[in-house]
């Protein structure tokens, strides 16, 4: 009976208590950061070295395929797509950054007020936020843009920013409610610290890491929203060049067989969005690992 069993001792297990820290170059999306830096540098500085005027309509060279003179070809109005890419990218990035700045400021203020307020006001603010979250963001953007009428880069950025703060506000509210009873917060309020002083100097430094991923991804969402509006014909006018307004010519390009009018701006847009996504995921992983080590 005893021959059926054998004592083999305790199985050795790997020690997982210590966290192995990877080299910095393995924790960072180096390729995505380099590509995004080159795109931003080309859109900001490269506009001073463009071979042709991106707004000039050369009707004698409409729909020219990529060649030596026109590296990326021309659109249906004879504009050089290579120059338009770098000139329009500046507008798209400006809309993304400005819209994210506006939405982040609104989210921090609303989430901070909801987190510090009593249960009645907290519940009221959160119910209003959840109602806005239930409405598709694109529908809100289209509705507000239709009310404003003629659009420009600033108005589109404001509309996207005003309609994109709800998710960040809920995270800020949760973090503030966890921090509001801390000793240094109570001490600051007892010494006469007002709401905004306490929010910016004591609360914000403690929850900024929690919303950093969402802030970075908001830039991507704002660029996508601008491109979608332009594709629907409600974005920037054709004389204001952006990646979205360039894609608004896709219907005519498909009917005419001008593939480069769609593929090249779309490729730059997709690469930019992928780089921002990779950087955002790296930030999320970095802070999630840091929280597990605490």
* Contact by Cβ (8 Å): 72, 102: no
Give this prediction's pTM. 0.80
* Contact by Cβ (8 Å): 32, 274: yes
Cα torsion for 230, 236, 239, 245, to the nearest 10°? -30
pLDDT digits (tens, 9 = 90+) for 29-78: 788 889 999 999 988 887 777 888 888 888 888 888 888 888 888 888 88
Which of 128, 201, 205, 210 has the alpha carbon at shortest distance from 172?
210
pLDDT digits (tens, 9 = 90+) for 97-112: 999 999 999 999 998 8
Domain boundaries, the chain: 52-293
Q: How far apart are CA 32 and CA 35, in angstroms?
A: 5
Q: How far apart are CA 76 and CA 53, in angstroms?
A: 16
Q: How far apart are CA 65 and CA 199, in angstroms?
A: 55
pLDDT digits (tens, 9 = 90+) for 152-200: 888 889 999 998 888 889 988 888 888 877 777 778 778 877 877 788 8
For domain 52-293, say whether CATH 1.10.3210.10 is its number.
no
């Amino acid at each position: 009976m005893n021959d059926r069993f054998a004592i083999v001792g305790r199985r050795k297990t790997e020690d997982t208590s210590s966290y192995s820290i990877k080299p910095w170059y393995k924790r960072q999306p180096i390729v995505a950061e380099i590509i995004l830096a080159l795109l931003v540098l080309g859109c900001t500085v490269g506009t001073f070295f463009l071979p042709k005027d991106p707004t000039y309509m050369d009707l004698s060279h409409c729909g020219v395929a990529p060649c030596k003179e026109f590296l990326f070809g021309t659109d249906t109005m004879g504009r050089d797509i290579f120059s338009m890419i770098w000139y329009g990218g500046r507008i798209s990035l400006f809309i993304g950054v400005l819209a994210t700045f506006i939405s982040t400021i609104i989210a921090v203020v609303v989430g901070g007020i909801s987190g510090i307020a009593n249960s009645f006001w907290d519940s009221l603010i959160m119910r209003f936020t959840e109602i806005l979250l239930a409405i598709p963001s694109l529908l809100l953007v289209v509705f507000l843009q239709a009310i404003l009428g003629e659009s420009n880069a600033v108005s589109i950025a404001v509309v996207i920013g005003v309609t994109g703060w709800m998710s960040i506000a809920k995270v800020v509210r949760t973090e503030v409610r966890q921090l509001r009873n801390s000793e240094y917060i109570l001490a600051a309020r007892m010494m006469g610290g007002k709401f905004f002083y306490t929010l910016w100097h004591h609360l914000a430094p403690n929850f900024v890491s929690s919303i950093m991923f969402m802030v970075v991804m908001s830039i991507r969402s704002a660029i996508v929203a601008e491109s979608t509006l332009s594709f629907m014909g409600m974005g920037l006018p054709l004389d204001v060049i952006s990646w979205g307004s360039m894609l608004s010519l896709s219907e005519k390009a498909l009917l005419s067989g001008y593939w480069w009018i769609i593929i090249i701006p779309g490729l730059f847009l997709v690469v930019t969005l992928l780089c921002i996504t990779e950087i955002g995921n790296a930030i999320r992983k970095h802070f999630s690992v840091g929280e597990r080590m605490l």
